Structure 1
Amino acid sequence: MAPRIVTLTLNPTVDIAAEADQVRATRKTRTRNEHFDPGGGGVNVSRVLHTLGGDTLAVILAGGLAGALLEELMDAQGVPRHSIPIAGRTRMSLTVDDLSTKNEFRFVPEGPLVAEAEWREALRVVEAERADWVIASGSLPRGVPDDVYALAADQAARQGRRFVLDTSGPPLQAALGHRLALIKPSRGEFETMLGRRLGTPRALNEAALEVVRSGAAELVAVSLGQEGALLAEPEGILRLRALDVPVHGAVGAGDSFLAAMVLKLAEGESPREAFAWGMACGAAAVMREGTAHPRREDVEALRRQIGEV
């Protein structure tokens, strides 16, 4: 039986992406070529897992008309889901590409106010579903305590499941040491987690190894933007450069990376091989417009391009 990967998204969103000739203050910015995607960390991960042929289920909180649209978009893409209804309204995010400057502007609301009974129901659903791996990803909406991912990690550990976390700030800090199989911060998120700047590659390498060897997380993958990414495991550090691909949209690239990496880990590949697949999938995602739309054939071709790791 193929490994099953359940994702948890407590603050999903409807992602709207568009382009404009120019974004200017106080002036109407008229957009075109709008794309609507179901979004939020775990939602994106499940979407990419589905594209790659993985067995996945997305557990989400959804409320209001935006929540209904989120569900409609997920169903249209064939992504299995379990929705927990909430009284608040699911958020909607907007990304606008300014064609005059080539800058990308992202507008991301904080999300609805979630009641304790609602987020606890999400944890209960994850606990009840069949899963080999659990990926909790994304920010927390208002009303959800910072230690919710630590609770989810402890729950997974009791059930013998592998738990992956992709978040930042206090929720990440609170979950460290709770038997995390993998964390995937950006460089800035990693520095915030440690409370210090890491000015050199050596400092970054040593800090990532320190986190792994301390038991805070088994694996640490740090995204470094145009510099690529690094993987820290107990045996050492692997760095891979960013692949040279045409960039059409960066939203969801990190989630695409995470999806491919965890899928390969779940299939029994080594962390280094899984990391290479993650790099290939993240690059494939930026080649496409919208949120997290890597094509499977692009991922496979880019993995071949990386070569031996």
Structure 2
Amino acid sequence: MNSFDIVTLTVNPALDKSTHFKGLVAEQKIRCEEPRFDAGGGGINVSKAISRLGGSSLAVFTSGGPSGKVLEDLVAKEAIAFEAIPIQTWTRESFVAVDSNTNSQYRFGFTGGEITDEEEKAVLEAVANLKPKFLVASGSLNEGLTPDFYQKVAEIAKKLNSKLIVDTSGEALKKVLETGAYLIKPNVGELAKLIGVERLEMEEVNEAAKQIIAKGGAEIVVVSLGPQGAVLVTKDSYEFVPAPNVAKRSTVGAGDSMVGGMVWALSQNKSLKEVIRWGVACGSAATMNEGTQLFKGADAQRLFDWLKDK
């Protein structure tokens, strides 16, 4: 297999379905339009984002049952190189439905099937056999995986001398900080939990991120501020980028698109100022499309050009 500078890991991918309907009425059959199918899950979405920027990556993910086979076919259609780790349970599905009458979006997600000890070992061995410059671990964990799973990935990344980018939450993210990562991307609420406080005001974000950096939890902390934009913090720098005002149609995959934009920029040796702007541009561009489509490269480029002077 060819070597890749970027490897993404999705232990709990999803076969995403999206559709439209007219009127949500309890206990009545809701007729939907023909569904759209997309390969989803944190790392897979990151690989898709990188591809749309003209980059390449290897997507490593678990796959099981008929839904897993469809997932693999969809990734292949995106012309993304991948390594699928077979599992016994079916790959989960997620469902997004938009009421055309109100433009309200309804998102339904399912937990992933249980991963056995043997399957977990196969995933970790697959990662250990690769030596990427950047390793992206993104998304939720399946049943059967302990909160220290991504910490195990962090330990492998350290041995490989790979720069680990982690986008997850809760105890799984806390455990990663014990080993350390190159970059993490919490939102404000998640950042507050990481430092043990109930909430953070905007003016407290910089200092909170620096607490994590000082303890060796990460070299770079990117804090998503939702519609306000994002900040990038290192031990000696702080960059705030406002989100451009766009017509939002869906927030599905916006966070993954942001990570994809940043990792692509890092792989192109862009400055950190450009890295965070590419992240915000891609995340904002993703909200311009319906359902689970992520973003169009032309939209991301246009928004980045607008953000360059911000």
Q: TM-score, normalised by structure 2?
A: 0.94
Structure 2 residue aligned with 1:305: 306
Match of 1:92, SS state, is strand
Alpha-carbon spacing, 1:183–1:90, altered in 2? closer, same or farther (3 Å): same
Runs of at least 4 residues of structure 1 off by over 4 A?
none
User: Aligned partners of 1:200 and 1:302: how far apart in 2?
Assistant: 27
Aligned to 2:177: 176
Judge which range, 98-107 or 169-178, deviates more: 98-107
Tell me which amino acid in the other structure corresponds to 1:23.
Answer: L
State the Cα deviation string for residues 75-125 of structure 1 (Å, max 9, x = none).
111111100110011000011123344332211111101111112111111
2:189 touches 2:200 (CA, 8 Å); kept in 1?
A: no
- For the pair 1:121 / 2:130, whether they are aligned, the reply is no
Classify the secondary structure of the residue corresponding to 1:25: coil
**Structure 2 runs not aligned, ≥5 long:** none
CA shift at 1:292, angstroms?
4.5
Following superposition, the deviation at residue 204 of structure 1 comes to 2.4
User: Could you say which residue in structure 1 is the equivalent of 2:274?
Assistant: 273
Structure 2 partner of 1:9: 10
Displacement of 1:2 in angstroms is: 9.7
Identify the residue that residue 72 of structure 1 maps to in structure 2.
Answer: 73
**1:100 and 1:54, CA in 2 relative to 1: closer, same or farther beyond 3 A?**
same
Do 1:154 and 1:178's aligned partners in 2 also have CA atoms closer than 8 Å? yes
Is the 8 Å Cα contact of residues 96 and 291 (structure 2) preserved in structure 1? no
Percent same amino acid among aligned pairs?
Answer: 36
CA RMSD of aligned residues (A): 1.8
Q: Report the equivalent of 2:206.
A: 205
Give the match for residue 232 of structure 2: 231
Please tell me the residue identity of whatever aligns with 1:156: A
Which stretch of structure 1 is more off in the superposition, 138-147 or 290-299? 290-299
The CA deviation at 1:242 is 1.3
Q: 1:84 maps to what in 2?
A: 85
Do the aligned partners of 1:162 and 1:181 also contact (CA within 8 Å) in 2?
yes
Deviation of 1:3 after TM superposition, in Å, equals 6.3
DSSP-derived class of the 1:157 partner: helix
Matched residue, 2:21: 20
| Partner SS for 2:59 | strand
CA deviation string 1:31-63 (max 9, x = no partner): 225221000000100111122122200001000
Work out the CA distance in 2 between the residues paired with 1:105 and 1:188. 23
Is the Cα–Cα contact under 8 Å of residues 191 and 208 in structure 2 kept in the other structure?
no
CA shift in 2, pair 1:34/1:206, >3 Å:
same
Tell me, yes or no, if the aligned pair for 2:192 and 2:200 is still in contact at 8 Å.
no
| Matched positions, count | 309
Letter in 2 for 1:203: E
Q: Given the alignment of the two structures, is residue 262 of structure 1 paired with residue 263 of structure 2, yes or no?
A: yes
The 2-side partners of 1:252 and 1:62 are apart by 20
| Counterpart secondary structure, 2:57 | strand
Contact between 1:3 and 1:266, CA under 8 Å: does it hold in 2?
no
- Report which stretch shifted further, 18-27 or 258-267: 18-27
Letter matched to residue 288 of structure 1: N
Residue 169 of structure 1 deviates from its aligned partner by 0.8
Task: Please tell me whether the aligned partners of residues 131 and 160 of structure 2 are also in contact (alpha carbons under 8 angstroms).
Answer: no
